Amino acid sequence: MERRHDPELSVAPLESASALAARFYTEPAVLELEREQDKRFSDEIQREDIAICERVQEGLLSGSYVGGRLSPRRESGVWHFQNLLRQAYRCS
């Protein structure tokens, strides 16, 4: 089936370490069946993402995590950008 629209999902944290609030938007002309299929798919992906984020938070809060570069070979661009930000913040 050809997609005639792009649904939009807005997600915002309710607290720093817990739940999320989500709103699902579609164009008014979208058929109800299509809207429900999109919403079910989106809900499935969101549940997966939430589970991943919760596990990451648990790991970060465990005391075992030591901050630093995760992959010097693969994340040099991110590292460089973060250093530029640090430098800019120090200068401001």
Instruction: Categorize the per-residue pLDDT at 21 as very low, low, confident or very high, splitting at 50, 70 and 90.
Output: low
Q: In terms of residue numbers, what domain contains 6?
A: 1-65
**51 found inside a domain:** yes
Contact in structure between 50 and 65 (CB atoms under 8 Å):
no
The residues, ordered by sequence, that sit 6+ positions from 87 with a Cβ below 8 Å of its Cβ are: none
pLDDT confidence tier of residue 7, bands split at 50, 70 and 90: low
- Is 70 exceeded by the pLDDT of residue 18? no
Q: What is the pLDDT of residue 57?
A: 85
Residues 6+ apart with CB under 8 A from 37: none
47 within a domain of the structure (yes/no): yes
Does some domain include residue 59? yes
In a domain, 20, yes or no: yes
**Cut 0.75: pTM above it:** no
Q: What are 90's two structure tokens?
A: 């120090």
Query: 71 in a domain, yes or no?
Result: no
